[in-house]
Chains A and B, each alone.
Chain A
Amino acid sequence: MTEHILELNGITKEFPGVKALDNVQFELKTGEIHALMGENGAGKSTFIKVITGVHQPNEGRIKLEGEEITFQGPKDANAKGIAAIYQHVTNYPDLSITENIYMGHEKINKKTRMINWKEMHQDAKKLLESLGSKLDPKTEMSVLSVAQQQIVEIAKALSSNAKIIIMDEPTAALTHRESEELYKITERLRDEGVSIIFISHRFEDMYRLADRVTVFRDSQYIGTWNVVDITNDDLIVAMVGREIKQLFPDKTNIIKEEVLRLEKLGQIGRFKDISINLHRGEILGITGLVGAGRSELCQAMFGIEPYDEGAMYFEGTRISIDNPTDAIKLGIGYLPEDRQAQSLILQWEIKQNITLASLAQYSKNGWLNEKKEREIAKELAEKVDVKTNSVFSLASSLSGGNQQKVSVAKLLTTDLKVIIFDEPTKGVDIGAKSAIYQIIVDLASSGYGIIMVSSEMPEVLGLSDRIAVMCEGRLTKVMGNEEATQEKILEAAMTKEMAVH
């Protein structure tokens, strides 16, 4: 029996064009709670997928209880006692708790080959009780709260005799009290000898629960510490301590008069009391952790999901925006986070994608003038530097960065004053990133008011004139670029109490 139940050494995982993990190591002791921390995109998720057998590493060794093993797929890892619980609960909402727990390893009566429901319900009840839950196992999954669903997920892990349980941001969608329940369950599991890897963005989770913490940054292993030995500041430095290189263009934009103002904007269950303004020529960065309500705020400003309370003022007059058509008419444009699903029609030509939002400009009495349409599309595609043979190529043939440029070109066809970018560089390579930054600064310089939602801190710091930080649906801090540091942002993103007004 070795001290470490799980050991990973020299793990490297490459995807076409990206190194998602670079020579990473990790050790998990038997019966410990081990926190894994790092920024979005640091490689935590890929790492988890390596442990659970979803991805096979290109290099490196995995040792389970001292024996070297390779996983062909998630089933392998599961059979060896490794289970994962994800932030977005993955279950079958229309089936009962019992069915969810035993999905894939149902109890079968050996003689009749029928499912043994009675035994399954009883065992499910026992499992739930061992986790301190009084839920009826016949209840449908969809009526449960997120916290209750997570308990079921944990029961599911236990039902397959998991020795290692990985929890990927389990507290992200929980209230404080629910989190406390989860902490207790987690501790109980540890005391029973289960080893737990706990991924979280919240410092309080780590301090409350973990024995040790490992930090990843930029796909690399940074270090492992005993939680009692490391200070908050040291940890933040470990997580974000990268230098920002000359990735960002020189800022040439000049901030002018106010163009947009939000007063106590709120949407039930999503965000509340958001008051902030935006000036012509200004880049306002909005950041925070995933789930803080940033995208929801932007979608409300654009009318995709209208806000419930508060007011919006555009150039000094109060406006109401019920749908995106209203927003575009006023001069507010939106670049969605998921360009493939929300912005582009991939099976269409680049040209048709660029002109979709502004067809009226190339037509007379509803009749399209394709020549004019083609010319403008061509001009804009060149302006944002889309790398393609022709504007007649399909959008699906472009790389992620170039698809994003097409989305930007599409915005430029309409007469806008405010442009909202939601994670503009998500999933694009470093070269395209720098090009998109240049476009954003150019747009601000030519007088657009820019709102940029981003999880990437260097990007927020490198581009924004002002930075607004959100945490759990509230605006926790607004600061000018000079006073902003990564540490301050991270602090505001993780603490809900210090709401500003």
Chain B
Amino acid sequence: MKDNILQSLNLEKIAKFRELGLLGFIILLAIIIQLLNPAFLTFGNLRDLLTNTAILSILALGMMLVLITRGIDLSIGATLALSGMITALTVSAYGNLHPLLAILLGIMVGIICGVILGLLVSKIGILPIIASLGLMNVFRGLTFWVGGGEWVSAYQMPPSFKSIATSSFLGINTLVLIAVVIFLLFYYFVNNTITGRQIYAVGSNPDSARVSGINQTKILILVYTIMGGLSGLAGVLWVSKFASAQGDTATGYELTVIAACILGGVSIAGGVGKVTGVLLGAILLGVLSNGLPLINVSPFWQMGIEGMIILIAVLFNTNVKMLVEKNNLLRREI
């Protein structure tokens, strides 16, 4: 009986299984929090939760691509801050700038940051963790420099800009809507396009990808550019939402984003990751950071709990993966 279950396992099914498990865990957590504090499942709080998770999930999707190619991007928090600061300064100087143009400006800043990182990683061959660590400091420094060390506060921003985060379309908050659109785009991009398949190939086996004629330089530049563009977009949304642009905006946020990816089943070793998993990972972190304060868990405990959950998820992943690999070897006819 046990053998039969093992026989039917493969990584694809495991991925589905762990996603269902993650979903179940999120629901269980929501029920517990709701029982302890009925304020959790209210319209206002859920809206807060979703708008907070929106930015995290946008970044996590980009990070997923980077991680799949065996890379990592530590500079996204700084890119986000830089893009947010430049956009905030621009709209405070030109009050009648259309919000769409502000968003475009932010994305452009992010793309430039991403292309620089992509070139360093793919053309020059600097390890992603080193290159992005260096750029993280460069971008953070630039943010302070362009802001002159000052904040851009709510009163300096025109209402049209602040309304990007607060407005809604067809009854759905704009932030959430943007996140949903990006999720759908990603879903089709990674599953149904040549480039999507090639990204996975480069991460799964770089040698094989090369022998198969895949241009790795192009793929690497692409994933870091996408990551940069999404960070730029997130920067505009962040500043609009909190109505404040600061030099230290989103410091350390890159680690939260990476955590969401890992919870969602993305492998740091590359080649593995699904958009649905990453979305669930982001939602789980969103529920924790929204729900734990509601049931009076101290912020210190909250960090500890988040960390424990990440470790448990990884432990689960590693064990199941070993089981599957062993099973594959057993099935192999020698």
A343 to B211 alpha-carbon distance, docked (Å): 7
A356 to B328 alpha-carbon distance, docked (Å): 22
Partner of A359, one of B11, B194, B272, B328: B194
Known: A328-B213, A348-B204, A367-B192. A356 touches B197 (CB 8 A): yes
Number of B residues whose C-beta is below 8 Å from A? 29
Summarize A's interface: helix, strand, loop or mixed. Answer: mixed
Q: Is B194 a contact partner of A360 (Cβ separation < 8 A)?
A: yes
- Confirm or deny: A347 has a beta carbon within 8 angstroms of a beta carbon on chain B: yes
Q: Is B332 a contact partner of A398 (Cβ separation < 8 A)?
A: yes
Q: Which A residues from 467 to 484 make CB contacts under 8 A with B?
A: none
Partner of B198, one of A17, A327, A359: A359
A319 to B195 alpha-carbon distance, docked (Å): 28
**From residue A217, how far is it (CB to closest CB) to chain B in Å?**
25
User: B312-334 CB contact bits vs A (8 Å, 1 = yes)?
Assistant: 00000000000001001101111
- Confirm or deny: B47 has a beta carbon within 8 angstroms of a beta carbon on chain A: no
Q: Is A16 a contact partner of B193 (Cβ separation < 8 A)?
A: no
Q: Is B204 a contact partner of A367 (Cβ separation < 8 A)?
A: no
- Confirm or deny: A357 has a beta carbon within 8 angstroms of a beta carbon on chain B: yes
**From residue A204, how far is it (CB to closest CB) to chain B in Å?**
36
- Confirm or deny: B205 has a beta carbon within 8 angstroms of a beta carbon on chain A: yes
Closest residue of chain B to A334 (Cβ to Cβ) is: B211
A254 to B325 alpha-carbon distance, docked (Å): 45
Known: A345-B204, A397-B328. A357 touches B334 (CB 8 A): no
A residues in contact with B272, CB < 8 Å: 347
- Confirm or deny: B271 has a beta carbon within 8 angstroms of a beta carbon on chain A: yes
- Confirm or deny: B212 has a beta carbon within 8 angstroms of a beta carbon on chain A: yes
Q: Is A394 a contact partner of B10 (Cβ separation < 8 A)?
A: yes
Closest residue of chain B to A346 (Cβ to Cβ) is: B205
Q: Is B208 a contact partner of A342 (Cβ separation < 8 A)?
A: yes
- Confirm or deny: B80 has a beta carbon within 8 angstroms of a beta carbon on chain A: no
User: A335-367 CB contact bits vs B (8 Å, 1 = yes)?
Assistant: 010000111111110001000110110010011
- Confirm or deny: B207 has a beta carbon within 8 angstroms of a beta carbon on chain A: yes
B residues in contact with A367, CB < 8 Å: 192-194
Q: Is B332 a contact partner of A397 (Cβ separation < 8 A)?
A: yes
A residues in contact with B214, CB < 8 Å: 325, 356
A residues in contact with B211, CB < 8 Å: 302, 304, 324, 334, 336, 342-343, 357
Summarize B's interface: helix, strand, loop or mixed. Answer: helix
B residues in contact with A434, CB < 8 Å: none
Q: Is A357 a contact partner of B212 (Cβ separation < 8 A)?
A: yes
A residues in contact with B282, CB < 8 Å: none
- Confirm or deny: B210 has a beta carbon within 8 angstroms of a beta carbon on chain A: yes
A residues in contact with B209, CB < 8 Å: 356
Partner of B334, one of A325, A327, A359, A399: A399
A residues in contact with B207, CB < 8 Å: 336, 341-342
Partner of B331, one of A302, A334, A397: A397
B residues in contact with A329, CB < 8 Å: 213
Partner of B195, one of A323, A352, A366, A396: A366
User: A393-429 CB contact bits vs B (8 Å, 1 = yes)?
Assistant: 0101111000000000010001000000000000000
- Confirm or deny: B215 has a beta carbon within 8 angstroms of a beta carbon on chain A: yes
Q: Is A396 a contact partner of B210 (Cβ separation < 8 A)?
A: no
Residue in A304, A324, A345 with the greatest tally of chain B CB atoms within 10 Å: A345
B residues in contact with A346, CB < 8 Å: 205
A17 to B332 alpha-carbon distance, docked (Å): 12
Q: Is B205 a contact partner of A368 (Cβ separation < 8 A)?
A: no
Partner of A347, one of B204, B212, B331, B332: B204
B residues in contact with A328, CB < 8 Å: 213
B residues in contact with A302, CB < 8 Å: 211
**From residue B253, how far is it (CB to closest CB) to chain A in Å?**
31
- Confirm or deny: B201 has a beta carbon within 8 angstroms of a beta carbon on chain A: yes
Closest residue of chain A to B195 (Cβ to Cβ) is: A366
B residues in contact with A359, CB < 8 Å: 194, 197-198
B residues in contact with A344, CB < 8 Å: 205, 208
Q: Is A347 a contact partner of B271 (Cβ separation < 8 A)?
A: yes
A199 to B211 alpha-carbon distance, docked (Å): 34
Q: Is B208 a contact partner of A343 (Cβ separation < 8 A)?
A: yes
B residues in contact with A396, CB < 8 Å: 325, 328-329, 332
Residue in A16, A329, A342, A414 with the greatest tally of chain B CB atoms within 10 Å: A342
A residues in contact with B325, CB < 8 Å: 396
**From residue B96, how far is it (CB to closest CB) to chain A in Å?**
38
**From residue B219, how far is it (CB to closest CB) to chain A in Å?**
12
Q: Is A368 a contact partner of B204 (Cβ separation < 8 A)?
A: no
**From residue A336, how far is it (CB to closest CB) to chain B in Å?**
6
User: B88-99 CB contact bits vs A (8 Å, 1 = yes)?
Assistant: 000000000000
Residue in A347, A366, A397 with the greatest tally of chain B CB atoms within 10 Å: A347
Q: Which 5 A-B pairs have the closest CB atoms?
A: A357-B212, A328-B213, A359-B194, A342-B207, A325-B213
Extra 4 A-B pairs, beta carbons < 8 Å, given A356-B214, A387-B333: A324-B211, A325-B214, A357-B213, A414-B213
Q: Could you list 7 examples of A-B contacts with CB < 8 Å?
A: A16-B334, A17-B334, A324-B211, A344-B205, A346-B205, A366-B194, A394-B328
Binding site for B on A (CB under 8 A): 16-17, 302, 304, 323-325, 327-329, 334, 336, 341-348, 352, 356-357, 359-360, 363, 366-368, 370, 387, 394, 396-399, 410, 414
